Every structure is written in structure tokens, then in C-alpha cells.
Amino acid sequence: MLAIPRLFCVLISVSFASLAFADGPVLTLKPDHADGIYALNENVVWTVDITSGDRTSMTAMPYTVKKDGLTDVAKGTIDLSAGPATITATRAEPGALLAQVYSPTAPHGLAIAFGGAVYDPDHIGLAVPEPADFGAFWQGKLKELAAVPLNPVVEKVDVSSVKNSAGIDYYKVTLDNIRGTHVHGQLARPTKGDKFPAILMLQFAGVYGLDKGQVIAQAMPGWLALNISAHDLPIDESDDYYKNLKAGALKDYFYIGSEDRETSYFLRMFLGCVQAEKYLESRPDWDGKTLVVTGTSQGGLQSFVTAGLCPKVTGMMVLVPAGCDVYGPLGNPPRQFGWPYWLAPWGAKGRDMKKVQETAGYFDAAYFASRIHCPSLVAVALLDEAARPGGVIAAYNEIKAPKKLDIMPLSNHYGTGGAQADYFKDYYAWKTAIQKDQPVPIPTVADAAPNTK
């Protein structure tokens, strides 16, 4: 079974469909369309209620509704003391709405409940075209990488103490990367058998070691599974080792080198993904035809990049991919920034924001999307404040290959309360079909609407 990834939080922010505050009631917001999808100019009506606790003091709950998490389109107060209340809003152009309800005692603080909706998702476009030399830049980087031999160092490790590891061989893998850096990862495969379909697992944001159980779980059904770190770090040090780096040298690593595309932290990271994919291609136990990339959040960003740069990738499955349409704040209408927050006001931190802005476009998942030529499953959460739904859907719409969009109307970035269950159901269905060399379950032209389960 696929392990649900650990969570990350870069900002002190919360994104729950329902949330208890100050040991008080738990609020929920539910749209009147269960799928969260609306036609232009159609009203969305969220029902706001509590699922537990005392409502008698909840007489003036402030709320706002924002276009793409940025521009107010409605605001006021609701009274929940006698029963449920409603919030209504609309918009006239493709994009998302985010409703936020606040505590009456802290009306300008963090929201305590969220509601989402998306309008005409098929026509949500990119905020800004890709840089004119985007393709040439990345072709140059691939040429630079091609001059670096893989030089794999592979160490077999006894994992008999790991749960459900019987019948699996496990290895630590190190590869050479550009400019003297390295790719560090873990590989697992069934002990019995000669050739297997391959899956490359890419990591969500943060600074941490790799969990042996996750790659073993991917290998168990008969896969050659490679899981790499986003960082040039050993994968199995102590928790304190990673905590010290997170607080020190790698604090806010996503801003490192952000004033220049040649020094951006993501350059080595992205080319490391390509190097890992090339390593899977080189292995004699790969079946030579099936190579899937998958990841959540930052791992979704890396998956877009890998699928866009590596023509032998045959499938992509991503959950709440971050780094999509980072130029959202420059669009018309503008969209709120998401992770990695390059265009956020605090992103400068003494840096030249003009240079940061110029650099950001070369590392945007959305600009790799049009270069993806494999079937792709993309899941978006309408309450997400890290991987903003407008940006994710804009990137998805750039994919020209067969694809499916799972819209999760009650999910935040983390899938609180099992709100991402539909994606995991589709993930397993896709992975099973791919392994059996069967078509992935993509809607036909006649019913090719986003998932509305």
C-alpha cells in the first residue's frame, strides 16, 4: 500500500476543511455542488455549520471570499448560534474561489475554516507565457548533465527488520550529478524475477531522511522502485542531523541561489531527477518499456520536470503539485502565490526581487507541462494554500498528452480527514493498469470532465 507522505509546512499557516479553535466548536464549509465545480457567473453557496461543540456564542463570525486566494469578492459575518448559515459568491472568469471563516475573537488572524470552488476549470490558463529561451536553457542543462557519468555506487542493505520486507532486495544508491554534486536515494525490487516496470518516487518539501518502508511498499507488487532525496545529503542519518541542517545551512533552501538560474537550488535538484531516471533506464532489471514518475507537493513539481525532460517516462501521477504557475500574482486577474513563494513579499529577504522574478520562470512546473507526452494523473485540492488550485489547473491544462484531473473539493494540501481518498483510489487503479500493460482509466472524449466523485 502506498504510504501517505509526511506533511510539510513552510509558513505558519493552516488549511483545514474543518477545524477546532481554542478547544471550541468544529466548523465545516460545504459547497452546494458536491464536486466544487461551477459555470461562470453561477453562485456558489457554502453551508457553514459546526459538527461538535457549543454554538451559542457564535453570533458574528467574520468571513471573506477571495478570487484565487487573493482578491476579495465577498465579506461579512455569519450567525451560527441558532443553526447553519450560508455564504454566497461568484466570479465571471475561469479560476478558483476560497472562502475563509475567522474566529469572532480574532477576526484578522488565521482562518479557522475554509471552503473552495472552481469556475470553468478547462479554461484556466497560465498567468504569463514561459521565458522566451526556456527550452534552449533546459536543452543546455541536459547537455551539461549528459557529460556527467552516472558512476552509480550501490550498497545492498539488510532490511529484514522492516515490516513487510520479505522477498524484497533493498539498496542505497548514490549517483554523480552536475558540478560535483550527487543524487542520493534508495532502491527496492523483488528478490525473484529478472525484469520489472520502474517507478521513480520524488520527495515533498523539507529536510529529512528517506523512509525505507515507502520504497519497499512500492516494490512489493512487482516494481523496480527508486526513491531519491531532493537534497545532496545522505538518506539515513539521525533526526538531529536533518533538524540542524533545516535550521542552518538549508533553512529556506528554496530561496538559495534564487537570483540566478545558474545558481538556483532547484537546478541541481531537477537535474538530479533526470539523472535518477537515466539510472533506471540503465539498469538491466528494468523491463525497457514502463517508467513512471510520482510525487506529492514538491515531489509533484519534480515529477512535472522529469516527465517533461525525459522522453522515456511513460506515466506521471502527482498529488497537489507545488511550484505551478509561480507567476500567478502577475496574471490578469492575479492569483495568490503558492510554494515556493518566490514572488511573495517576504521572498526578497535582502535579494534583488527583479532577479528572483526573472529566475523563477525557469523552474515553474507549468512550463514543463506542455513537454509532457505521457498519460498523466493530477490531483488538485480546492482548499490548498501551498499548491494553489488555479495554478495547478493551469499547469494541468498545458499537458497535451492523455490526462485526468482529480478535483478534491474538501481537501487542503494535506488531505485532512481522508479528503484525498479519490486520488489514492485512482493512483492504485493507474498503477495496476500500467503494470498489466493495460490502458489507464482516462475518461473518453464524451465524458472527459474532471473527476467529480
Q: Is 430 helix (H, G, I), strand (E, B) or coil?
A: helix
Stretches where the chain sits below pLDDT 70 are 1-25, 107, 347-348, 444-453
Contact 177, 149 (CB under 8 A): no
- pLDDT for res 273: 98
Query: Rounded to an integer, what distance in angstroms lies between the CA atom of residue 78 and that of residue 76?
Result: 7
- pLDDT for res 24: 57
Domains delineated in the chain: 18-121 (2.60.40.1930), 134-447 (3.40.50.1820)
Residues 6+ apart with CB under 8 A from 228: 183, 184, 185, 200, 201, 202, 203, 272, 273, 276
User: What type of residue is 379?
Assistant: A
- pLDDT for res 13: 29
DSSP per-residue codes, 381-420: ETT-SSS-HHHHHHHHHH--SSEEEEEETT--TT-GGGTT
Contact 227, 214 (CB under 8 A): yes
Query: Rounded to an integer, what distance in angstroms lies between the CA atom of residue 265 and that of residue 359?
Result: 11
- Going by the DSSP 8-state scheme, the letter that residue 153 receives in this structure is E
Cell numbers describing residue 41: 457567473
Cell numbers describing residue 89: 459568491
Mean residue pLDDT of the chain comes to 91
- Reported as a single tens digit per residue, the pLDDT across 175-207 is 999 999 999 999 999 999 999 999 999 999 999
Contact 263, 170 (CB under 8 A): no
Among 320, 323, 450, which residue's Cα sits nearest to residue 384? 320
- Reported as a single tens digit per residue, the pLDDT across 89-123 is 999 999 999 999 998 877 677 899 999 999 999 99
- pLDDT for res 348: 62
Q: What are the two backbone dihedrals, phi and then psi, of residue 122, each rounded to the nearest 5 degrees?
A: -65, -20
User: What residue has cell string 514561459?
Assistant: 130
pTM: 0.93
Query: Rounded to an integer, what distance in angstroms lies between the CA atom of residue 441 and that of residue 432?
Result: 10
- Going by the DSSP 8-state scheme, the letter that residue 345 receives in this structure is G
- In this structure, the dihedral spanned by the alpha carbons of residues 178, 184, 189 and 191, taken in order and rounded to 10 degrees, is 110
Among 294, 445, 439, 292, which residue's Cα sits nearest to residue 379? 294
Q: Where are the beta strands (DSSP E) in 16-92?
A: 18-20, 26-31, 37-38, 44-52, 61-67, 71-78, 85-89
Contact 368, 131 (CB under 8 A): no
- pLDDT for res 444: 67
Query: Rounded to an integer, what distance in angstroms lies between the CA atom of residue 287 and that of residue 283?
Result: 9
